[in-house]
Amino acid sequence: MQIPEKMTPTELRATISLASIYGLRMLGMFLLLPIFAIYAEKLEGGNNHTLIGLALGAYGLMQVLLQLPFGMASDKYGRKNLIYIGLVLFAIGSVLAAVSNDIYMVIVGRAIQGAGAISAVVTALVADSTREEHRTKAMAMIGATIGLTFAISLVAAPLLNQWIGVSGIFWMTAVLSILAIAVVKYAVPDPAYSQFHSDAQAAPGKIKDVLRDKQLLRLNFGTFCLHGAQMAMFIVVPFALKETSGMSENQHWQVYLPVLVASFVLMIPAIIYAEKYAKLKPVFIGAVALMLIAQITFALNIHVFWGIVSSLFLYFVAFNVLEASLPSLISKMAPPAYKGTAMGVHNTAQSFGMFLGAVMGGFFSQTMGFSAVFIFCAVLMGAWLILAFGMKPPPTVKTKMYHVGNLTALQYQQLELAVKNLGGVVDATLIAQEHNLIVKINNQQTKAQQEDVEQAILNLIGGA
């Protein structure tokens, strides 16, 4: 047996199509961040920043409530059917928000948008559509789509606002949602069969195990804080930029673009250094500390233009490192048998952070002023920094998955033990009901050594 090198055209088409659907969901959130607060303040009832925060955060709350039920329903009623329902809900919510003239109906529209909680379903369909050995690559492509969507949105949103306005952006996302239904129907191949995937889906029975894992709890608290601060700061930053620079919100891309590019230039070497030299923990802690500094700098300089720009630079360097590191750390530290559940809890913590951060950001902005928002964010980051110091250094591994044929229970046990005993293998778990062998391979070996280990695993599977 040879180590497969490439995804098939069918796998690639399914992954790219579904990544675009996932990106659309995030577009509905990210496109609003740089411009929504200023737009919402002009709506009836929008002079209350707490309500603006609720309008931004309602999307995340519905994701928290419905993400797991959508995923479970897709096991019974079909992945594509649930994605269709979610996209229709997203379109309905977008239309309602587009035609609303008061903040209360926008809140309802945003909640309906979020009710189409298809993220877990999309992930499950990716798992159905890709072979085990390519699934990690497929999930990484989706993760990259999220990061790219966020960066593009910060620059594109002010330009789109100039051309079509926020209501036009809502209309645009509604149209894109309907077009996405056609993409799912015609571009995404129907998988040969659907099943539960422990590496990609949340199992309700395993949630308690994830919540008892102190290392995973640290990471989940971190993603809650990271995205809570993200939403809170964008209640304030658009107003502060407009007041201190004299630029309209349509020109704010001129600030975001250079800051984002500069932050990416610093982020990429940091991630490479962390992975190549097994320095994930110190780089991670450094990024949390930098995020704390960024929030304090915001609080002290929110009424000074260049203070805001420098704070944004620090923020985006830290955010990009942390956003890239958190899923990797979850993957490395979660036991293979419930990796999908760990990622599901992680995503739920992210959505809850978005909701609570937006609401609290609006509340503090309304009652105590701009600086109070960043003091709140600094408290979150300080708590996270303390917890991060207690994190165990993550294992320097890469995770590979292999399909195993029908074997007896004894043969499964023997195969798992044989793989565990291979040099260069850190851990191996065989999930018999899914016929999958999940192996964590030492990533500090040379590429040739890793390939030898992977070939030895394939030989054992072939001989089982």
Domains 225-394 and 397-463 share a fold: no
Q: What is the CA radius of gyration of the chain?
A: 23
Band of the pLDDT at 288, cuts 50, 70, 90? very high
Confidence check: pLDDT of 8 > 90: no
Answer whether residue 1 shows pLDDT above 60.
no
First-last CA distance in the chain: 13
Q: If pLDDT is split at 50, 70 and 90, which confidence band does 336 have?
A: confident
**Homologous superfamily (CATH) for 225-394:** MFS general substrate transporter like domains (1.20.1250.20)
Tell me: pLDDT of 464 over 70.
Answer: no
Q: Which of 264, 313, 269, 270 is nearest to 293 (CA)?
A: 313
State pLDDT tens for residues 414-462: 898 999 998 888 888 888 888 888 888 888 888 888 888 888 988 888 8
pLDDT tens per residue across span 134-174: 777 788 788 788 888 888 999 999 999 999 999 999 999 99
What's the pLDDT score for residue 268? 86
Measured from the Cβ of residue 128, the count of other Cβ atoms closer than 10 Å reads: 19
Is the pLDDT assigned to residue 292 strictly greater than 80? yes
For 28-71, how does the pLDDT look when each residue is reduced to its tens digit (9 = 90+)?
778 999 999 999 999 999 999 999 999 999 999 999 999 889 98
pTM for the whole structure: 0.91
Give burial (CB, 10 Å; 0-12/13-18/19+) of 272: exposed
pLDDT digits (tens, 9 = 90+) for 297-318: 999 999 999 999 999 999 999 9
Q: Which two tokens stand for residue 68?
A: 């797991």
What architecture (CATH level 2) is domain 7-201? Answer: Up-down Bundle (1.20)
Entry field: residues in the chain: 464
The answer to whether the CB of 358 falls within 8 A of the CB of 57 is yes
CA 23 vs CA 20, 147, 285: distances in Å: 5, 9, 28
Give the whole-angstrom CA distance, residue 283 versus residue 34. 28
Structure tokens at 264: 């990416």
Q: Are strands 425-431 and 397-403 parallel, antiparallel or unpaired?
A: unpaired
**CATH 3.30.300.30 given to domain 397-463:** no
Determine the Cα–Cα distance for residues 441 and 422; give it in Å rounded to an integer: 10
The encoded tokens of residue 347 equal 């995503």
**How far apart, in whole angstroms, are the C-alpha atoms of residue 375 and residue 345?**
27
SS3 assignment for the chain:
CCCCCCCCHHHHHHHHHHHHHHHHHHHHHHCCCCCHHHHHHCCECCCCHHHHHHHHHHHHHHHHHHHHHHHHHHHHHCHHHHHHHHHHHHHHHHHHHHHCCEHHHHHHHHHHHHHCCCHHHHHHHHHHHCCHHHHHHHHHHHHHHHHHHHHHHHHHHHHHHHHHHHHHHHHHHHHHHHHHHHHHHHHCCCCCCCCCCCCCCCCHHHHHHHHHCHHHHHHHHHHHHHHHHHHHHHHHHHHHHHHHHCCCHHHCHHHHHHHHHHHHHHHHHHHHHHHHCCCHHHHHHHHHHHHHHHHHHHHHHCCCHHHHHHHHHHHHHHHHHHHHHHHHHHHHHCCHHHHHHHHHHHHHHHHHHHHHHHHHHHHHHHHCCHHHHHHHHHHHHHHHHHHHHCCCCCCCEEEEEEECCCCCHHHHHHHHHHHHCCCCEEEEEEEHHHCEEEEEEECCCCHHHHHHHHHHHHHHHHHC
Domain coordinates in residue numbering, the chain:
7-201, 225-394, 397-463
Question: pLDDT averaged over the chain?
Answer: 90
Which pLDDT score is estimated for 434?
A: 82
pLDDT digits (tens, 9 = 90+) for 89-125: 999 999 999 999 999 999 999 999 999 989 889 888 8
Q: Using pLDDT thresholds of 50, 70 and 90, give the confidence band for residue 241.
A: very high
pLDDT tier at 228, thresholds 50, 70, 90: very high
